[in-house]
Amino acid sequence: MGKAGKIARRSFLVGSVAIAGGVAFGGWWLSRRAPNPLAPEEGAALNPFVIIDGEGVTLVMGRSEMGQGVHTTLAAMLAEELDLEWEAVRVVHGPASAAYHNEALAAMGLPVADYAKTPMQRRIGGAMGLLSRGFGLQVTGGSTSTRDAYEPLRRSGASAREALKQAASGRLGVEVARLRTEGGAVIAPDGTRLPYTELAEAAARIDPPQVAPRPASEWRLLGRSLPRPDMLAKATGTATYGVDVRLPGMKFASVRMSPHLGGEMRGFDPAPALEMQGVEQVIDLGSGVAVVARNSWAAMRGAEAVEIDWGPAPYPETTEAIFERIAEAFNRRRNSRLRNDGNVTNALDGASEVIEAEYRLPFLAHATMEPMNATALYTGDSLEIWAPNQTPMAQASLAARAVGLRADQVRVHTTFLGGGFGRRLEADYSALAARVAKEMPGTPVQLVWSREEDMTHDYYRPGVIARMRGAVQGGLAVAFDCKLAAPSVTRQAVVRMTGLPAPGPDKGHVEGLFDQPYAIPNYRIEGYLADLDVPLGFWRSVGHSHNGFIHESFIDELAHAAGRDPLEFRLELIRPESAVAANVLEQVAMMSRWQEPKAPGTGRGVAFVWSFGTPVAQVIEVKDEGGRIRIAKAWIACDMGRAFDPAIVRSQMESGLVYGLSAAVMGEITFAGGAVEQRNFPDYDALRMAGMPEIEVAILELQDGIGGAGEPGTPPAAPALTNALFDLTGERLRELPLNRRFDFVL
């Protein structure tokens, strides 16, 4: 992330020229962005991303660093245009502000397939990004941080560079065209060097020119694997995560909420907690309690000790009953039919053999290593929040609502995230911290959830049922029919975050099914929304995570029904639709030596999913070791269009694979008595080092545009694994997790 640094509070509140030679650059972008939040009193229309002051260059980010390396890459983007070494760019997280609106995320809302977007559809998506600014979509998610920053950061850096050269030209009496920039300075033909820090104040008086960024052929940094300085801080324990925040006079708190999600608290007795050493206060939150203490451990133990009478859950109490409710959705009116090629009904009626299958996937938790937490300081007319989060504006809005303030009375500080995966798009933990702080005006209080509270009060990936029918003829798939039932993540989340409904076809519900590049002539995808109140949230790769499994498992079933090699079967269907996707599959076939004979006792499976702008193909090899299954090897090929930092892309592909495999092997949230049964990592584990496969990653850059990296590695993992298990055992697995059936080497 460049050189980690902090900007004094005054930098955010005073016009930048008033700070010893400081200035913010890039005015061209401001006509398209919200007012700059860094100089609100003066109403200055200054760039919200780049500050040059007496200490150097600072990149003010609107995106969270949660292990994906985004600050490193974005610092390199800016340094590329400013002729700096990337280490010279300090990076800080900016405030909650619509200036950091994520246009790329908003542009993804168009219900069309990435691979098949026409120029007109791309323009419409861009317009959606622009028009959505009023919503202030300040979000780190959707694998969009780099895509969203690519143009504004490079243009901001380019305009700053040229303004600095103009300032130097005025001082030296040398034509701008004869000046160059290097190493944070403007250099004259005679070798005179004027550091940016000396020129910033003069440059502030210049209307920054609109300058095109440099072409890729001139890049020094982008396209290279750069060291990540945040890793040193994380490895040495000096990085500041949410749980590391410490303020003078701080108190610590923990919560205990109804185990029956959505249920009420009928009453409670605080006496057992108040008798414990270190416990100072028990606060009634209506649906639960918060215990305030001198340290987090005392607060957690105190919360466990409170005697509480809980009411029932407002939805079916068991996993079986919940899935019965999901299945009922097939009897309701469909929500979407985003793909309906050919005539599926006629094709299936005329087929000599119809392949039918039902897939069921469980609810899943996010299981971040750092449990939910936030620190809050309430003063009566203002609120400050320190939180690891993916949505600063949502944190401000919902925390303000919780304590009766306006959002502009809340200041949000975003720390490093000890895991996000979509869970920290939510603001429930910040709102609870604000409510606790309101009971203790003037005292900062850090609210940390226990692991048990975190696991049992998640916003879960939904349980899913898919009913599939297909047909093959002449070695090819001629019909593909999917009916998918699940509760809607998008509808719940939009209402929680905005208070507005999300009507119309739910794209996220069927993404990963309707938008894959397969030339199947009769192809129908229908989505049915289940009426269910289990709290749901965005889980890494969202709908693609479960639909990728369903789609690629059934494609494999069709391949075997056709008597075809599964990879060749896919290639023959994909080549007519997308050369880019076919290249990815061909690459993974070459890497894995797919056509070569396998060793005895091994199986290989392949899967392909296009998600978040990036096609990814994976091959997984499994081995039978005395009746136990070892996930031995994994090959991944992806096409980012532009891989700005290959090492970061590689690590994200590996990370996505691990996340997907962990869920496939052992991920499952179940319910009994209206409560979540899994309470900690022994109940909801992840792959350990001993169970990890050897991984090889190939990064292609053949497609137009820029794809994401954080999520696309997850969707192909589960189907590649189950397809490999079928190759090994002949058993087709249509339900997860797999440890119900096999004993894995973990």
Cβ partners under 8 Å of residue 439, min gap 6 = 281, 283
**Can you tell me the mean pLDDT for 466-491?**
97
Contact 358, 465 (CB under 8 A): yes
Predicted pLDDT at 137: 87
Say yes or no to pLDDT of 17 above 60: no
Query: What is the spatial distance between Cα 635 and Cα 606, in angstroms, rounded to a whole number?
Result: 9
pLDDT average, residue stretch 123-132: 81
Residue 486 in tokens: 């699940």
Task: Quote the pLDDT of residue 14.
Answer: 23
- C-beta atoms surrounding 673 within 10 Å: 11
For the cut 70, the answer to whether the pLDDT of residue 3 exceeds it is no
User: What is residue 277's predicted lDDT score, i.e. its pLDDT?
Assistant: 97
* Residue 95, pLDDT above cutoff 60: yes
- The pTM assigned to this predicted structure is 0.94
Would you state the pLDDT for residue 23?
53
Burial class of residue 285, CB neighbours in 10 A (0-12, 13-18, 19+):
middle
Question: pLDDT tens digit string along 380-428?
Answer: 999 999 999 999 999 999 999 999 999 999 999 999 999 999 999 999 9
- 32, two tokens: 């398209």
Cα-to-chain-centroid distance, residue 660: 14
Gap between the Cα atoms of 585 and 34, Å rounded? 42
d(CA 34, CA 51): 17
Helix or strand run (H / E) with residue 665: helix 646-666
pLDDT tens digits, one per residue of 510-547: 999 999 999 999 999 999 999 998 999 999 999 999 99
Asked if residue 12 has pLDDT above 50, the reply is no
What's the whole-number average pLDDT of the chain?
A: 92
Q: Does residue 75 surpass a pLDDT of 90?
A: yes
Cα angle: 254, vertex 260, 261; to 5 degrees: 80
Task: Give the model's pLDDT for residue 24.
Answer: 52
| Torsion sign over Cα 193, 196, 201, 206 | positive
Enter the DSSP assignment of 741. T
Closest CA to 484 of 516, 520, 458, 508: 508
Give the pairing of strands 265-269 and 614-625: unpaired
pLDDT tens per residue, range 208-246 = 788 899 999 999 999 999 999 888 889 999 999 999 999
The closest alpha carbon to 271, from 309, 308, 311, 310, belongs to 308
Which residue's structure tokens are 């090889």?
696
- H-state helical runs in 43-144: 70-82, 103-107, 119-131
CB 75 within 8 A of CB 56: no
**Which ranges in 259-391 belong to alpha helices (H)?**
271-274, 296-305, 319-328, 344-349
Higher pLDDT, 662 or 503: 662
Residue 30 pLDDT exceeds 70:
no
Q: Is the pLDDT of residue 38 over 80?
A: no
Q: Which pair of structure tokens corresponds to residue 421?
A: 């995966």
Q: What is the dihedral of CA 684, 685, 686, 687, to 10 degrees?
A: -140
Structure tokens at 280: 């100072």
Calpha distance 602→659 (Å, rounded):
23
Region of residue 421 (phi > 0: left; psi between -120 and 50: alpha; otherwise: beta)? left
Mean pLDDT of 159-180: 95
The CA distance from 636 to 621, in Å, is 12
Phi-psi region of 69 (alpha: psi -120 to 50; beta: other; left: phi over 0): left
pLDDT of residue 19: 31
Q: In the chain, what is the greatest distance between 2 CA atoms, to the nearest angstrom?
A: 84
How large is the average pLDDT for residues 452-456?
98
| Angstrom distance (rounded) from CA 658 to CA 656 | 5
Q: Is the pLDDT of residue 594 over 50?
A: yes
Domains and CATH numbers, the chain: 3-102+138-236 (3.30.365.10), 242-312+372-448 (3.30.365.10), 319-364+460-740 (3.30.365.10)
Dist CA 235 CA 233 (whole Å): 6
Q: What percent of the chain has pLDDT over 90?
A: 80
pLDDT of residue 35: 53
The answer to whether 143 and 118 have CB atoms below 8 angstroms apart is no
Q: Are the CB atoms for 242 and 387 separated by under 8 Å?
A: yes
Say what the pLDDT of residue 109 is: 87
Q: Which has more pLDDT, 558 or 6?
A: 558
